[in-house]
Structures are given as C-alpha cells and as structure tokens.
C-alpha cells in the first residue's frame, strides 16, 4: 500500500520548474517504475510532480553533431528510434532489454539515471558516449557529465530543486558498437552484468576503444587504463589478454573480492574476449 502523498501534473517545463521551486521536498515522477517501488517499500515522498506529459521532455534533437534526448522519453521509444540506432547503437540495445515490455513502455531514461542503480542498463552505453546531463532549476541551468552526476549507488548530485531536462549524447560513427549483458532470468530482467562497447579498428590495430561495465562495482564505470592500453595497439591475443586482466584487476581494486565474483568475473572475461576479438 502506498503512503499518502500529494501530486501535481506539470504541463510545461516552466510549470515543473515552478513547482520544484515552491514545494517542500519535491520528487519528480515520469514513468514511476522506480519511485513507486520505493514508496511501496515505505519511502515517504509527500510532494510528487508528474512530468510524463511535458512536451519539452519528450523530444529528440540533433544539433552540432550531438543528440539531445528528453528525459521523459521511454526505453521502448529509444530502443526503436532511428537516430539512436544510427548514432548510439549500444543505447538502443540496452533500452530494448530494460525490464519487461510493460516497464520499457513506462520507464524513462531520466528516471533510470536519477535512480542511479548499479544495474541500470542505460548507464554503461551513455558513459561510452560521454553523455552530459542538462539540469535545470528556476534560477540556474547547468550541464554536468554523467560520470560526475552519479556519486554512489542510488545517489546522484542532482539537487531536489533541479529537473533533469535532457541527456546530450556524443554520436559514435564508424565504430563497432553494442551492449552485452547477463540477467538472472529473462522474465525478471534485472542485469547481473552489463558491458557497453564501441571499437574502431584499422589494418589490424585498435584505433579507439571505449568500454563501460555495469553491475560489477558500486557504480558503472569506464576502465580508462584499459582503453588507453588498447588505443593504437596491434590487435592480437597478447594485448587482448592483458587488457582483460587489467579490467578484472581494476574491478577487484574498486570493490574488493565479493562472493558474486566467483561467477561474474569469468563471465565478464568471456564477454570481453568476444567483444575485443570482434
């Protein structure tokens, strides 16, 4: 049973920002697939602002070579969007795997980011695309890299008075790109492990490699030292083996040794082998 709360429906971005400014301890809701779960678990959110129908949060634009995605766009819509498939294939793939069809049709990319789950499927693809979040309040507007927004599991630097308006994505053209993940079972599709990748090769060399790993550490992350090792390197078994060793060691360094690593790390090793060998 849900606790008592008051809700308002914002019809425009300006209206949403006004409510955020004037209400005490407000919370934003769009699809509600994360917030409602928290409320059913006993979390108290007395003031809820529904932004699911705000037109400005439901648009996608391409400007100066970057994509801007409204925060209220659903996973289902993003998974089939031609601009996303063309410019950020890993994100389209990840959004197509989020939860169940019902969740994908309700859940939004903004909600996925604001919830900041270590298992969020959309975060690793957005990390390899150097995503920037546009955060707005009634007084300010700021652009913050995604990797600076998520500060701990389920914790972000987004202020309660700020609205996540859009997500800016840097397209990756000419890359072999995708998303691989392992879930506990298909009917309860919460990621146990997720890897986003974008790889560009030329004449037997890695010219650029972008990797992001989710569900292995408290926050999804990019193993930058591994990327640096591979960039410009000859594509052979020795360099691939060393890159994978470094990635696994970095995970252990970040999180220590966890019981789940007995199965997660061998599976991750297999995924990285497949991805890097191409």
Instruction: Kindly state whether residue 135 falls inside one of the protein's structural domains.
Output: yes
According to the model, what pLDDT value does residue 63 have?
Answer: 84
The stretch 171-177 carries a mean pLDDT of: 95
Are 11 and 84 within one domain? Answer: no
Q: What is the pTM of this model?
A: 0.93
Q: Indicate the residue among 169, 203, 226 that finishes a domain.
A: 169
The rounded percent of the chain whose pLDDT value lies above 70 is 90
The CATH number covering residue 245 comes to 3.30.390.50
Instruction: Kindly state whether residue 147 falls inside one of the protein's structural domains.
Output: yes
What's the number of domains the chain is made of? Answer: 3
Q: Which domain holds residue 24?
A: 6-50
Instruction: Kindly state whether residue 264 falls inside one of the protein's structural domains.
Output: yes
Instruction: Kindly state whether residue 238 falls inside one of the protein's structural domains.
Output: yes
Is residue 186 predicted with pLDDT exceeding 60? no
pLDDT tier at 116, thresholds 50, 70, 90 = very high
According to the model, what pLDDT value does residue 187 have?
Answer: 47
Instruction: Kindly state whether residue 1 falls inside one of the protein's structural domains.
Output: no
Are 28 and 72 within one domain? Answer: no
Are 62 and 158 within one domain? Answer: yes
CB 224 within 8 A of CB 130: no
**Tens-place pLDDT, residues 216-255:** 999 999 999 999 999 999 999 999 999 999 999 999 999 8
pLDDT tier at 34, thresholds 50, 70, 90 = low
Q: Indicate the residue among 136, 151, 169 that finishes a domain.
A: 169
Are 90 and 70 within one domain? Answer: yes
Are 74 and 30 within one domain? Answer: no
Q: Indicate the residue among 169, 189, 207 that finishes a domain.
A: 169
Are 61 and 41 within one domain? Answer: no
The stretch 23-43 carries a mean pLDDT of: 72
The stretch 72-78 carries a mean pLDDT of: 96
Instruction: Kindly state whether residue 90 falls inside one of the protein's structural domains.
Output: yes
């Amino acid at each position: 049973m849900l606790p008592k709360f008051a809700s308002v429906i914002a019809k425009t971005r300006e209206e949403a920002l006004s409510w955020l400014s004037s209400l005490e301890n407000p919370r934003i809701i769009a699809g509600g697939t994360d917030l409602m779960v928290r409320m059913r678990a006993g979390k108290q959110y007395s003031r809820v602002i529904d932004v699911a129908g705000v037109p400005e949060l439901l648009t996608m634009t391409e400007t100066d070579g970057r994509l801007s995605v409204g925060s209220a766009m659903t996973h289902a819509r993003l998974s089939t969007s031609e601009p996303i498939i063309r410019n950020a294939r890993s994100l389209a793939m990840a959004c197509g795997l989020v939860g169940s069809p019902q969740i994908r049709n309700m859940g939004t990319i903004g909600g996925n980011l604001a919830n900041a789950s270590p298992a969020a499927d959309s975060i690793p693809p957005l990390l390899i695309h150097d995503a920037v979040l546009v955060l707005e309040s009634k007084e300010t507007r700021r652009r913050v890299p995604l990797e600076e927004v998520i500060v701990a599991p389920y914790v972000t630097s987004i202020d309660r008075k700020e609205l996540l308006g859009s997500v800016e994505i840097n397209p990756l053209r000419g890359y072999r790109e995708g998303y691989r993940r392992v879930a506990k079972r298909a009917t309860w599709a919460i990621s146990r492990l997720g890897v986003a990748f974008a790889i560009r090769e030329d004449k037997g060399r890695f010219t650029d490699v972008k990797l992001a790993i989710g569900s292995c550490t408290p926050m999804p992350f990019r193993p930058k030292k591994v990327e640096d090792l591979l960039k410009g390197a000859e594509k052979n078994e020795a360099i691939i083996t060393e890159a994978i060793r470094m990635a696994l060691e970095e995970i252990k360094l970040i999180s220590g040794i966890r019981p789940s690593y007995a199965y997660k790390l061998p599976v991750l090793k297999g995924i990285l082998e497949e991805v890097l060998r191409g």
